[in-house]
Amino acid sequence: MVTVIVDVEGAVRVLRDAKKLLILVGSRLDGDILSTVVKLAEGLGAKAGIAATGNTAAPLREMGIDAGKEWTAEVVSRMLHSEGDKPDLLVFVGFYSFVLSGVLSTLKHFASCKTLALERRRFENADFSLSEMSKEAWRDALMRIAEGVIR
Amino acid sequence: MTFLLPNSRNDLDTPVATVGKTSVRICDVVRDVRGIESIVKRAIEDPDFGWPERRLQQVECHLHIFPSAKELEDWDGFLLGRYPPVYSPKSSRCNDCMLGVCDLSRERGACGIDLKTKCARDSLLDACKGASQMISHARALLNEALKRFGRDKRISHGKNVRYPSINTMLFTGTPIYTLGDADDALRYAEEQLVELLAAASQESNVIDLESKAFHAGSMYLLAGEVAELVKEACFGLCSAADRELVELPNFPHFIERGIGALDLEKPVVLFVGNSFLVGIAAVDFVRASGLEDEVQICGVGQMGLDLGRYYEKTKNLGGALKVLRVLRAGIPDVIVVGEQCVPANILEEAKKTRTAVVAVSQNMSMGLKDRTDAALSEIANALISGEEAGVLILNPKKAAEVAVKVARELSRGRKKFELPGLEAAEKCDGCGACDDACPNDLEVSAAVLAAKEGRANELSEIYDDCLFCAKCESVCIARIPIVSLVLKAAVDKMRAERFKMRPGRGTPSHLEYRDVAYAFGFGTVSGMVAIIGCGAGNEQDVGYMVNELVDMNFLVLTAGCVAADIASFYNEVEKKHLYEAWAALLQIRGFLNCGSCSAFSHVARAFIKYNHLIARLPLLGNFEEHADYTLGKMPMGVIIWGPASPQLYAAAAGFARLGAPVVLGPHGWKFQRFLLGNVEDRSKWWAYDGFTGRKVEVDPAPPHLIIPVETKEEALTMITRLVFRVNDFRDGRMSKMDSYWSFYERFFNSIPEDFHLYVRADAELPWTRKHKMIRILGEKYGWDVDKRRGLIIRAKHRDGRLLTPEEYARDYGIRVGQYSTFLERLIIREAARRGELADADKKDEEW
């Protein structure tokens, strides 16, 4: 399976096509990008949930978002083992690359869901990934994706 | 098991072991008794470490003496069934055999292997690599000790150690009292390692492979114990074992950590990797020559700790990982390079600053000429003149003398901190290759670009988190010496680094155990946590975690390179750095450093010792029962912080098999194998009522065995969750719940979603949160509660039933104080093991 490198429009299409998706918010996200991710989730409506990994549960709650605290490893484990209704797309944003590389490798090889990496660099083990870009370009891309899913 | 009358005529020809009036045929308690008859007999009869008569009568005694991994499959199988491995494959391609490269992502390989099995083989190989490094280390020390002192040399464990060589006893059935005993134990580990490596390319079952990876972990801890015993008993490393309790809070001596502790005008000899014997010899030489005030003996990593235990004037220059920081700054005049934890390009790096290299291990000879047989002056002259950049010397004493002599010469007129100016950043075009290469995800290019504009602050901030691997430099097209720039920007910080630390003191002593045993056993101490590892990017992280856990009344230990990192953390309340802020005790409000990575074994023995102290579990050849007890009862856990090395992989496997769950820091995601429980799957969470044999649904405790996290706050919270045990006493459950809730609320501004799974009775809820918890149980989880009085009227079982507290205690979890086990043979009565008492009604009649 080859990773599909997506641009803003491509990412929007992937997000729109998903039936049920979970956005995993990684520990590296700071304030304004966190707001953008919240906006993205809101734009996707009821089909999207937010999983606050790392320490992001607290800032999200301060923003009025009641995102459940999640442990990334447990989310991965659920995708492998849970019998319940699982998301068909996991979206990752704000992760350390050495964390996300491992997570994506597990999901790619042993889980049935698709993955989308909305990070500043390309992730080979994701089904869909943004490509390398500067922090500013990334910030802008996320904003445009958040706006794109609403239109 | 057959019990015999001691004088039964029919069995006169069958060797028996006898305790009190109870005898057991020794051939019945081991798989193959041939050649180990006397060991088995002693393992049962030994008055200190053997079997109490009552215990011998109660459970099915089965010993594992010199076991292979397969012999411990009952326990390993249970663990791996409950915590199945989750893999992050390095690659889906397999290139391990001569049939060629196979892509395992969709189909099996030419040899029939699938991707999971390939991952499990990699897991076993990683564990073997780690075990081999520790075994090799122990063997080198032991061989030298055997040459010097002979096999009969007695090993003193110290007057305050009642249980010697615990890691070893569990597997060999024999305490180590002489160097010969140590040799026998290490030979066993070596044989096992060979077997495990052979299996790594043949075994085809994931669980069998992971069981073997566990076994490699156990051998790692065993070898670490041998290494520590030899270091302490034969080479003079300080140990708490002979100290009185009143001495321990200030034991051992402080040493200084940091470049700021050095006089840069004086010669510096830096020991890197495992160069232990040479280090000891160098200190002896410096002392004998009256050079203590002139020559500065320094160590990074293991040597910074071990030498510190031997010589109070040792300067610890941090973790092994960051040796480049010291080298690039030109601090050492000579580096003595052993094996393990040494960058492969250390010789090239040393040449850059004209630092002489003395290699002392044939496993890390770096292509250098073997000068072991040359005259000392000849070797020294070659190094001083620069004719040779480095030499290999396999004679510790000669290597030590060469290193000191050369350092004295080279230090004259040698400048330190000769680093390039910020103008070297001018070539940066901001391509970002360094960002992509950085294993710690640092934003390097932005800092270099800032330097290009004359601002050094960003580079100075990079210094705090940098691993000093120099990958950024190796990918830089403009050939910018980024690491040197970082150091240049942070010169003032480096010069200011001067902290006190305790270099390690070996085992916790018996006196400390006795002092805290009841608090620990009954739960007023939340748990015992060891923080170990190879050193972090940001040194403050580990210190922060230690501080938080001590504050939360955990017993906290450390070992390995992180022990040096901890020194730099400043406790704002106590107004002291950590080693000065807390007493060096295994007590509440104490924190102790056991030593270098071989001292991970002291952590394991601290865990096991409590089992023996509290439950009087037999120690000899009885690994499974100890692991069963630790997982079911004892609140112990390990945090591994910093980059993932093979040694830590093996250590994690060893601790996990022992029943002590492991939290891996963010770099632990590179371990590529985790052991995660599935809390949702109720079928996985059971234990045997130890009296009736009834299989009971229990709380998912601990929920995971090896789990990676992303932040230090997650690590702290997770470890408080992983110390829950199905057999917690009331106070223990209360204090753990309080710790878990406290961290969760503080770090994540929310309440633990799974807390209701660990509520067994309202009396166990922390007083300060009780009413809130009761309210949430009622409103969110559907329990029938009396909010006003803070009572649980009916608890909601996971199957949906609302049960009275009595019914709930019967159908969920182990009754407080009741013996429980995960192994059928450890159910206390034979009738119960046969299932005859498993019915609840019968149980009530019986008890």
Residue-by-residue DSSP string for B126-172: HHHHHHHHHHHHHHHHHHHHHHHH-TT-B----TT-SS-SHHHHHHH
At residue A1, the pLDDT reads 67
Structure tokens of A32?
């304004």
At residue B7, the pLDDT reads 42
Whether residue B271 contacts residue B299, with contact meaning beta carbons closer than 8 Å, is answered with yes
User: Best mutation site among A24, A96, A125 for testing chain B: the one with the most B CBs within 10 Å?
Assistant: A96
pLDDT at residue B718 is higher than 60: yes
Structure tokens of B701?
């405790």
Average pLDDT of the segment spanning B749-753: 93
Q: What chain B residue is nearest to A104 in terms of C-alpha separation?
A: B88
> What's the rounded Cα separation, in Å, for the pair B482 and B328?
11
- Other CB atoms within 10 A of residue B40 CB: 23
Whether residue B2 contacts residue B11, with contact meaning beta carbons closer than 8 Å, is answered with no
If asked whether residues B350 and B269 sit together in one domain, one would say yes
Is B666 in contact with A98 (Cβ distance < 8 A)? Answer: yes
- Other CB atoms within 10 A of residue B845 CB: 9
pLDDT at residue B465 is higher than 70: yes
Domain assignment present for residue B77? The answer is yes
Average pLDDT of the segment spanning B807-815: 94
Is B672 in contact with A54 (Cβ distance < 8 A)? Answer: no
pLDDT at residue B475 is higher than 70: yes
Domain assignment present for residue B78? The answer is yes
A76 touches chain B (CB under 8 A): yes
If asked whether residues B140 and B120 sit together in one domain, one would say yes
Is A58 in contact with B748 (Cβ distance < 8 A)? Answer: yes
Domain topology for A4-150: Rossmann fold (3.40.50)
Helix (H), strand (E) at residue B213: helix B206-235
- Signed CA dihedral, A90, A96, A97, A99: sign only: negative
At residue B514, the pLDDT reads 81
If asked whether residues B42 and B127 sit together in one domain, one would say no
B167-212 residue pLDDT tens: 999 999 999 999 999 999 999 999 999 999 999 999 999 999 999 9
| CA B139 to chain CA mean position, Å | 20
Is A53 in contact with B710 (Cβ distance < 8 A)? Answer: yes
Nearest-Å Rg of the Cα atoms of chain A is: 14
Pairing of strands B802-803, B791-796: antiparallel
Q: Final residue of a domain: which of B245, B276, B293?
A: B245
Q: What chain A residue is nearest to B707 in terms of C-alpha separation?
A: A73
Is A84 in contact with B680 (Cβ distance < 8 A)? Answer: yes
Contacts of B417 (CB under 8 A, 6+ apart): B264, B329, B330, B487, B491
How would you class B429 by CB atoms within 10 Å of its CB: exposed for 0-12, middle for 13-18, buried for 19 or more? Answer: exposed
pLDDT at residue B361 is higher than 70: yes
Q: Final residue of a domain: which of B13, B31, B58?
A: B58
Structure tokens of A88?
């068909």
* Helix, strand, or coil (residue B298): strand
At residue B524, the pLDDT reads 77
Enclosing domain of residue B25: 3-58
If asked whether residues B276 and B399 sit together in one domain, one would say yes
At residue B840, the pLDDT reads 52
Structure tokens of A61?
């709650």
Contacts of A52 in chain B (CB under 8 A): 748
Pairing of strands B704-708, B662-664: parallel
Any idea what the CATH number is for the domain that residue B129 is in? 1.10.8.190
If asked whether residues B320 and B382 sit together in one domain, one would say yes
* Helix, strand, or coil (residue B365): coil
If asked whether residues B224 and B271 sit together in one domain, one would say no
Whether residue B66 contacts residue B188, with contact meaning beta carbons closer than 8 Å, is answered with yes
> What's the rounded Cα separation, in Å, for the pair A74 and A71?
5
> What's the rounded Cα separation, in Å, for the pair B587 and B412?
48
Is B105 in contact with A109 (Cβ distance < 8 A)? Answer: yes
A113-140 residue pLDDT tens: 999 999 999 999 999 999 999 889 999 9
At residue B8, the pLDDT reads 42
Any idea what the CATH number is for the domain that residue B366 is in? 3.40.50.2030
DSSP B519-580: HHHHTSS--EEEEEES--SSTHHHHHHHHHHHHTT-EEEEEETHHHHHTT-EETTTTEEHHH
At residue B838, the pLDDT reads 63
Domain assignment present for residue B846? The answer is no
How would residue B806 be classed by pLDDT, with cut points 50, 70 and 90?
A: very high
User: Best mutation site among A105, A115, A134 for testing chain B: the one with the most B CBs within 10 Å?
Assistant: A105
Q: How far is CA B55 from CA B38, B50, B360, B690, in A?
A: 21, 10, 51, 13
Distance from CA of A72 to the nearest CA of B (A): 7
Q: What chain B residue is nearest to A63 in terms of C-alpha separation?
A: B749
If asked whether residues B205 and B320 sit together in one domain, one would say no
If asked whether residues B149 and B289 sit together in one domain, one would say no
If asked whether residues B223 and B277 sit together in one domain, one would say no
Is B669 in contact with A101 (Cβ distance < 8 A)? Answer: yes
> What's the rounded Cα separation, in Å, for the pair B638 and B86?
19
Domain assignment present for residue B530? The answer is no
B670 touches chain A (CB under 8 A): yes
Pairing of strands A128-129, A4-5: parallel
Closest among B144, B291, B163 to B227, alpha carbons compared: B144
B427-444 residue pLDDT tens: 999 999 999 999 999 999
Distance from CA of B741 to the nearest CA of A (A): 13
At residue B839, the pLDDT reads 62
Is B710 in contact with A27 (Cβ distance < 8 A)? Answer: yes
pLDDT at residue B526 is higher than 50: yes
At residue B9, the pLDDT reads 43
Q: What chain A residue is nearest to B432 in terms of C-alpha separation?
A: A134
Closest among B601, B703, B698 to B658, alpha carbons compared: B601
B663-688 residue pLDDT tens: 999 999 999 999 999 999 999 999 99
Contacts of A86 (CB under 8 A, 6+ apart): A20, A78, A79, A113
Judged by average pLDDT, the poorest of B7-11, B100-104, B404-408, B476-480 is B7-11
Which backbone phi and psi does B142 adopt, to 5 degrees?
A: -65, -40
If asked whether residues B230 and B348 sit together in one domain, one would say no
At residue B12, the pLDDT reads 53
If asked whether residues B393 and B339 sit together in one domain, one would say yes
> What's the rounded Cα separation, in Å, for the pair B153 and B145?
9
Number of domains chain B is built from = 4
Average pLDDT, chain B: 93
| CA B180 to chain CA mean position, Å | 26
How would residue B834 be classed by pLDDT, with cut points 50, 70 and 90?
A: confident
Helix (H), strand (E) at residue B802: strand B802-803
Distance from CA of B678 to the nearest CA of A (A): 7
> What's the rounded Cα separation, in Å, for the pair A107 and B608?
37
At residue B614, the pLDDT reads 84
At residue B844, the pLDDT reads 52
- CB-nearest partner of B678 from A53, A77, A105: A77
Whether residue B738 contacts residue B751, with contact meaning beta carbons closer than 8 Å, is answered with no
Distance from CA of B424 to the nearest CA of A (A): 23
- What is this model's ipTM? 0.97
Distance from CA of B701 to the nearest CA of A (A): 15
- Other CB atoms within 10 A of residue A58 CB: 17
Is B678 in contact with A82 (Cβ distance < 8 A)? Answer: yes
B420 touches chain A (CB under 8 A): no
If asked whether residues B48 and B186 sit together in one domain, one would say no
